[in-house]
Structure 1
Amino acid sequence: MTFSRRHLIKSTAALAAASALPMPAWARGLSVTDAKKGFGEVSGENIELAIGNHHFNTGGRSGHAIAVNGTVPGPLIRLREGQMARLNVTNNLDEGSSIHWHGLLLPFQFDGVPGVSFPGIRPGERFSYEFPIRQSGTYWWHSHSGLQEQAGHYGPIIVESATPDPRYDRDYVVLLSEFTPMHPHDIMRKLKVGEHYFQRDMLTATEGEMSGEMRRMWGRMRMNPRDISDVTGSTYTFLVNGHGPEDNLELAFNPGDRVRLRVINGSAMTFFNLRIPGVPMTIIQADGQDVDDVEVDEFQIGVAETYDVIVSPPAGSHAIVAEAMDRSGMGLASLTSHAGHIATAPALRDIPTLTMIDMGMMDHGGMEGVNEMGHSMRDTSKLPGDVEAGPGVDMIAPMPMDRMDFPGLGLDKVDHRVLRYTDLKAKRMNPHRKIDREMEIHLTGNMERYMWSFDGKKFSAVTDEPIRFGYDERVRVKLVNQTMMAHPIHLHGHFFELVNGAEHMHQPLKHTVVVQPGGTATFDLTANEPGDWAFHCHLLYHMHAGMMQVVTVRPFPDGKPV
């Protein structure tokens, strides 16, 4: 039996009507306009943003998208340090929506997380976010409703400093993301069925130099050493400023220019390794905050992180290469002094392979203790600290180590300079504060069931048990990654100081930290922003699957929220 598209749409519409489920216009077969690639710019005291259903295509892939002001990504929002911003958001979708202002310090009521800090924006409604701009730097915005971020609902923010910066002549946003025609809820369903669904380059039984005993150990773990990314280039087209590699995006410069690139990882699931072959990069900011200059040739940027770099390219065309960490594809743009000349992209490099260290094991070059290791990784009755670990935990790293000096999977053996968290030092001086208390939070998961959590508990199970901080309390937080995947962990409403070996008054400030597989990361937090704040893994499907919590900071200094 065959079905026409019209028949299928009518049948689906009838089913939706029968079950009283709303159906968006794009699914009803109604005309949906194409979203423009790239973004315009909005600024001023009153900014209008409209969220709507659109169609998007790039690189031979096309499908539904959620665009803001008709573009994917949505518009660059340019603000000024010290101004009062009013951002009026109209939701033209058939479902609730929201915007979170990632990295901006603001009253928690305007942070934009439905169910945590406000109710969300219902279909057809308009909501005004209004708050003072207390900082400068490179940030971004995105939906915090459902999985809309994957569909195109995100964009960049630049907050201009009250003091001009004379170090550069040109200024570009380099916003990295992905596009897929697959509906994000379909992606989630496929990951729940089998976490390897999108993998196309798994290690075979005969490939590589791995010993037979090591292969058997990986088999006992029910893991593959190339299980690097949950969703890959088999489904994603990787974008730079909304443009796929075939779009030949050009960023112009004149010989002698100093060019500032504001690199934002606005993707749903992809860690990128960014380099400009032959052109050194000087990092000047991390997550919008000034750091001492660090010259590198490549850096890994986790989901939701930002890095600002200054480059002085020689005349010609140079490839800006954003290679996915699992080497399944890349985003591309040309930094060129010759309009119309496209830089030649390098070939994809070999796929990295997970090691014993990524399991949270010391790698002594031998196989002693493999059986004990496999047993330890599967013995999940309790997490350290006697935290009960239920069915959402299928492994515990036996010996997790501080991995602040690790540059990211695939970059630890390259022969050029790569960024490590231990390279970062805050340019400004942090206030001197002693630590009031210390706490540990465990990053946990069950790969086979695609369950992700903190301390073995999904967000849905802990909504009445937030992480509590006293107002202005100084807490040292140690994140322990019990899993074999890197997790970018983001705390809303605050900056924290990475405990990365820098002198304590120059520990770098960040809002997102990548916790490496089988490793730990530690930060010092002064909880001086009262309210209720989301705390979560910024891999979209990990957050959706449960790796999220609420941080509550109380009391309010004046006794009530404002």
Structure 2
Amino acid sequence: MSIPNLDRRTLLRGAVAGGGLLGLQGLTPAWAQTVSPGLRSDLPTLTGPNIDLTVGHSPFTVGGRTGHAFTVNGLLPAPLLRMREGQNVRLSVTNTLDEDTSIHWHGLLLPFQMDGVPGISFPGIRPRETFVYEFPIKQSGTYWYHSHSGMQEAMGHFGPIVIDPAGVDPVAYDREHVLVLSDWSFLHPHQILDKLKKSPGYFNRQRTTVAGLLDGSDRMSLSERRMWGAMRMDPRDILDVSGATYTYLVNGHGPQENWTGLFRPGERVRLRIINASAMSIFNVRIPGLAMTVVQADGENVRPVEVDEFQISVAETYDVIVRPTEDRAYTIVSEAIDSSGMGRATLAPRPGMTAEVPPLRRTPNLTMADMGMGGMNHAAMGHGAMDHASMGHGDMAGMDHSAHAASDPMPMDHSGMNMRDPSKAPANMAVGVGVDAIAMAPANRLAERPQGLQDVDHRVLVYADLRALTPNRDTRPPSRSLEIHLTGNMERFMWGFDGRKFSELVEPIRFELNERVRVTLVNDTMMAHPIHLHGHFFELVNGHDGHQPLKHTVNVAPGSKVTFDLTADAPGDWAFHCHLLMHMHAGMFNVVTVRPLEGAAS
């Protein structure tokens, strides 16, 4: 990637006009920031309260190949925006493209007219026009921003946000690094989506084989293979788009380019980790270095020490690491289907590297992923349950059932993937867009996530997250709402309650300040990171009074997730799966909160 036709003087003038500059970082494209220049940010950074951003085209080079990207101020990822809680910010966004664009401020609490979703909260930004976003900063933490127009997000239109607290930060640290994880393909995202619609398994190069059955490497018995075949399902359909086409980036760097952040031994280093990818869920670890999770989705949580965590699309996690040795450490962000990884390095000095671990074996889907995790398999002759995947949080009263993939399966599952209207809830449209209804979806918040069930170290689970401060709204929910995540995997159709957004579905309605308990039921065998704009919700994970606040939650295959929502933001808000192509294929709706008293005009 380069910034064409700009000399040093033009860059300096643009940087001053675009907001405060931290050092001279803004003069260098993101790909050239190979080491940290100081104790604060290590990405080109703009500070509030007045920031100018320009959306345009740029070439982007990774792994020796050059492609076409959508960028902000010529950078991939876009500049880090650094603001402070209590500020009023003014962000002027100029569109130099030949198509409409937009910016959504992911996780920020703001008037709905400033949320940046074309057709929902504003018309979009037309070519060669400027739109000014103005809103107060009501929070602190790690967030990000991205386009909500077309598939520009998949082509580089995203960047990080750090909001410093108005008072003392409860997290103590000596140095920080922002790590933006993403996926990049030289195939245009519309080409990728077209291939998925024609053949959903197009990018799956890790399917089970006859050789794998014979030598045992597939880790499946013949009866299990027959079961999957009868159901016309692929036990390794983990991610729709894989490392077969994606290069996994860290701050715009491919694995061979090895982005490096510096530290001094003994420092407390804060890593602000953002999953800005289009379609990739990552398992993150730093071999030889424990991580203490201190923040999830920008909200502080009670510290919990782990060795690895899964970060779904659009989530953020802040962790503290304290390297004491004078050596390098590899930061691994491995795709959950083990088809590839992003790689970066923490080191005391530039040029140092550490061993890069090999990719792990491809995981297999299980009975729980089919939506049978809540069934009594022992009574059905399926053997003992596998409890090795338990988390180490407070799990009292939760259903932790899981099923070992190697258990014998004497039942006839041949029709299990067929729609059964008698099992569908009354509000579900059971048509071609629904190829399965989970028989017994379970709460899996205390289970280790996909690909991490068998690792021999500590893994973060949602049940470990506990809000640092008490929840503000102590009212019990006044009603309950159940929303089903549905799809037809063979046709790459996705929706809520069996309907695509294009079918003119009714919005999800809440009264202003209403307290509602919402349960998301995943009837599919794919994970879905579900994001609600303009709000935080309390994840019901067993920590009453200290339920963690989230704006995005990953709903595991065949599972259900419950959250408590106080609908305190009037307006119309997007609600969708953050797998970009699932959203474009229909898993999108509008949450409308009325009346509008108190909304900005």
Aligned pair partner of 1:213 in 205, 212, 223: 223
Specify which of 41, 47, 56 is matched with residue 43 of structure 1: 47
Q: Please point out which of 138, 141, 163 is paired with 1:137.
A: 141
Q: What residue is the counterpart of 1:340 in the other structure?
A: 351
Q: Cα deviations across residues 122-155 of structure 1 (Å, max 9, x unaligned)?
A: 1111000000000000000000001110000000
SS in 2 for 1:112: coil
State the SS of the aligned residue for 1:377.
Answer: coil
Q: In 1, Cα distance between the equivalents of 2:48 and 2:319? A: 26
Does residue 219 of structure 2 align to residue 179 of structure 1?
A: no
Please tell me whether residue 434 in structure 1 is matched to residue 445 in structure 2.
Answer: no
Residue matched to 2:402: none
Counterpart position of 1:19: none
- Conserved in 2, the CA contact under 8 Å of 1:35 and 1:55? no
Residues 91-240 of structure 1 mapped to structure 2, 5 A cutoff? 91-165=95-169, 167-207=172-212, 208-240=218-250
Aligned to 1:18: none
SS at match of 2:435: coil
What is aligned with 2:389? none
Question: Per the alignment, do residues 227 and 321 of structure 1 end up closer, same or farther by CA in structure 2, a change over 3 Å counting?
Answer: same
CA contact (8 A) 1:61 1:180 kept: no
1:393 and 2:451 equivalent?
Answer: no
**Given the alignment of the two structures, is residue 475 of structure 1 paired with residue 516 of structure 2, yes or no?**
yes
For residues 60-88 of structure 1, what are the alpha-carbon distances to aligned partners after superposition, in whole Å with 9 as ceiling and x for unaligned? 33211001101100000001000001100
Q: How far does the alpha carbon of each residue in 1:267-312 deviate from its partner, in whole angstroms, 9 at most, with x for none?
A: 0011000000010000000000010000000000000000000000
Say if 2:223 and 2:409, in contact at 8 Å, map to a contact too. no
Change in Cα spacing, 1:186 to 1:482, as seen in structure 2 (3 Å) is: same
After TM superposition, the structure 1 stretch with the greater mean CA deviation from structure 2, 136-145 or 307-316, is: 307-316
* SS of the residue 1:506 aligns to: coil
- Is 1:324 matched up with 2:329? no
Which residue is 1:29 aligned to? none
Are residue 526 (structure 1) and residue 566 (structure 2) matched? Answer: yes
Deviation of 1:369 after TM superposition, in Å, equals: 6.4
- 2:587 aligned with 1:547: yes
Distance 1:307 1:331 in 2: 16
Q: Are 2:424 and 2:430, in contact at CA under 8 Å, matched by a contact in 1? A: no
Aligned equivalents of 1:172, 1:407: Cα separation in 2: 27
Contact 1:51 1:92 in 2 (8 A): yes
Give the stretch that moved more between structures: 382-391 or 102-111. 382-391
State percent identity of aligned pairs. Answer: 59
- CA shift at 1:375, angstroms? 2.2
Deviates more, 1:354-363 or 1:266-275: 354-363
Describe the SS at the equivalent of 1:189. helix
Per-residue Cα deviation, 1:496-525 (whole angstroms, up to 9, x for no partner): 0000111x2100000000100111110000
Contact 2:30 2:251 in 1 (8 A): no
Greater alpha carbon shift after TM alignment, 202-211 vs 133-142? 202-211
> CA, structure 1 residues 156+541, in 2 after alignment: closer, same or farther (shift >3 Å)?
same
Q: How has the CA–CA distance of structure 1 residues 489 and 369 changed in structure 2, closer, same or farther, with 3 Å as cutoff?
A: farther
- One of 294, 297, 312 as aligned partner of 1:287: 297
Assess if the C-alpha contact under 8 Å between 1:376 and 1:397 holds in 2: no
- Name which of structure 1's ranges 294-303 and 423-432 shifts more when overlaid on structure 2: 423-432
Tell whether 2:504 aligns with 1:462.
Answer: yes
For 1:547 and 1:264, locate their aligned partners in 2 and report how far apart those are by CA, in whole Å: 22
For 1:496, the equivalent position in structure 2 comes to: 537
Distance, in Å, in 1 between the alignment partners of 2:106 and 2:187 is: 25
2:460 to 419, 423, 431: 419
Secondary structure class of the residue paired with 2:256? helix
Q: 1:377 touches 1:398 (CA, 8 Å); kept in 2?
A: no
1:189-247 deviation digits (Å, cap 9, x = unpaired): 00101011111111114523423332222112221111111111111110001111111
1:83 and 1:133 in contact (8 A); partners too: yes
| Aligned position for 2:371 | 360
454-463 vs 444-453, greater mean Cα deviation: 454-463
Tell whether the 8 Å contact from 1:205 to 1:215 is kept in structure 2 after alignment: no
Q: Tell me the amino acid that sits aligned with residue 489 of structure 2.
A: M
**So what's the TM-score if we normalise by structure 1?**
0.91
Structure 1 CA distance for aligned equivalents of residues 342 and 575 of structure 2: 29
- Which range moved further: 60-69 or 546-555? 60-69
The 1-side partners of 2:81 and 2:187 are apart by 28
Matched to 1:330, the amino acid is M
How many angstroms does 1:183 deviate by?
0.6
Q: Which amino acid in the other structure matches residue 214 of structure 1?
A: E
Alpha-carbon RMSD across the aligned residues, in angstroms, is: 1.5
Out of 404, 428, 431, the position equivalent to 2:445 is 404
Distance in 1 (alpha carbons) for counterparts of 2:502 and 2:254: 36
SS at match of 1:213: helix
Q: 1:509 to 1:36 in 2, by over 3 A?
A: closer
Aligned CA distance change for structure 1 residues 35 and 79 (closer, same or farther; 3 Å):
closer
1:90 partner SS: strand
Matches of 1:554 and 1:419 in 2, distance apart?
37
Contact 1:136 1:160 in 2 (8 A): yes
State the SS of the aligned residue for 2:545.
helix
Q: 2:596 aligns with which of 541, 556, 561?
A: 556
**Which amino acid in 1 is paired with 2:564?**
D
Cα deviation for residue 379 of structure 1 reads 2.5
SS of residue in 1 equivalent to 2:149: coil
Unaligned 5+ runs, structure 2? 1-27, 34-42, 213-217, 384-406
Question: Unaligned 5+ residue runs, structure 1?
Answer: 1-33
Aligned to 1:64: 68
Three-state SS of the structure 2 residue aligned to 1:214 is helix
Contact (CA 8 Å) 2:260, 2:344: kept in 1 or not?
A: yes
Structure 2 CA distance for partners of 1:382 and 1:58, relative to 1, 3 Å: farther
Greater displacement, 305-314 / 217-226: 217-226
The answer to whether residue 553 in structure 2 is matched with residue 513 in structure 1 is yes
Deviations 1:8-30 (A, max 9, x none): xxxxxxxxxxxxxxxxxxxxxxx
State the Cα deviation string for residues 464-487 of structure 1 (Å, max 9, x = none): x10000000000000000000111
Match of 1:80 in 2: 84
| Separation in 2, partners of 1:438, 1:307 | 29
Distance 1:322 1:496 in 2: 27
Verify the 8 A CA contact 1:382 1:389 in the aligned structure 2.
no
1:10 equivalent in structure 2:
none
Matched, 1:485 2:523: no
Alpha-carbon distance in structure 2 between the residues aligned to 1:462 and 1:87? 33
- Looking at structure 2, the residues matched to 309 and 226 of structure 1 have their Cα atoms a distance apart, in angstroms, of 30
Distance 1:344 1:211, change over 3 A: closer
Residues 383 and 113 (structure 1), Cα distance of their counterparts in 2 relative to 1, 3 Å cut: farther
Indicate conservation of the 8 Å contact 1:379/1:395, yes or no.
yes
Q: Does the CA-based 8 Å contact 2:231-2:416 persist in structure 1?
A: no
1:91 and 1:123 in contact (8 A); partners too: yes
Counterpart of 1:346, as a letter, is P
Residue type at the aligned position of 1:302: S
Is the 8 Å Cα contact of residues 489 and 537 (structure 1) preserved in structure 2? yes
SS at structure 1 position matched to 2:446: coil
Using the alignment, how far apart are the partners of 2:108 and 2:286 within structure 1? Answer: 29
- Equivalences, count: 525
